[in-house]
Each structure stands twice: as C-alpha cells, then as structure tokens.
Amino acid sequence: MATVFDLFKEIDYQYFVIERGTVFGNVQASAEPRTLKGVFKERTGYTRTGNNIERIDGDTATLHAHPEDFTDFDAIVGNGVIVNNIEYEVKGLTVGTNFDTGVVEHLTLTLERTDIAEGDDED
C-alpha cells in the first residue's frame, strides 16, 4: 500500500529545538538543526466556498514527516523547522496510523511562519 511518501515528492527540511523565554524572545537552541526529508505543503492561494472566495495567506503549512526520525512525538510541538529558508513553528501534530496494520506511517506537522533568533553559543 502506498504512503504519502510514495505519492508526493520529498524535500529537505531542518528541524531544531526552540528555547523560550530568553531576553531575545524565542531562540534556536545551540545544537545544529537536523536535516531530514518530508512532504511539504504550503497553504497559499484562494478557496471557493459557495459564492464567497477566501484567501489563504500563506502563513501556515503542513509537513509530513517520517516517524522514525523522532524518538518522542510529544516533544515536537513548539519546536521549529526551516523549509526553503522560511522558519516555521510546529503548532500541532497528528499521528498518521494505518487503520489495517496499526503502524504509524507518517506524522503531520501543522506549521505557522515565525521568526526565530539564532542561539548564542557563548556562555
């Protein structure tokens, strides 16, 4: 059976931990981001609902990630990813489980554009 990774082209993205509550706001933790692969979908354009047209502003996106890339699913929300040089914060996570086998096939990360300061390596 085909998965989302078989049906759509994967791209590289960087995943990193966000440290909160610093003087400079939210900053990227000092560790280097991990480069991973996933299926990215930016939410831009227009949708039609009846006689109305709704504009989607492009500040949100989804990223289908490989579950084997993460050891703790609960720790993903609140961290960040960089896709095509744009920074996003992970606002939500849905675990994609195959109903027939019970195997987790993908993670769907709900992303929102954000600005993250780079961490300071000096202590």
Residues near 105 by Cβ (< 8 Å), separated by ≥ 6?
3, 4, 67, 96, 97, 98
In this structure, which topology does domain 4-36+55-116 adopt according to CATH? Thrombin, subunit H (2.40.10)
pLDDT per position as a tens digit, 8-53: 999 999 999 988 765 666 777 767 789 999 999 987 666 666 666 6
Going by C-alpha positions, the residue among 18, 65, 7, 74 that lies closest to residue 38 is 65
Residues near 93 by Cβ (< 8 Å), separated by ≥ 6?
73, 76, 77, 107, 108, 109, 110
- Which segments of 69-115 does DSSP mark as H helices, in order? none
Phi-psi region of 113 (alpha: psi -120 to 50; beta: other; left: phi over 0): beta
Q: What is the pLDDT of residue 51?
A: 67
Contact 96, 103 (CB under 8 A): no
Judge if pTM exceeds 0.75: yes
Backbone angles phi, psi at 93, to 5 degrees: -145, 130
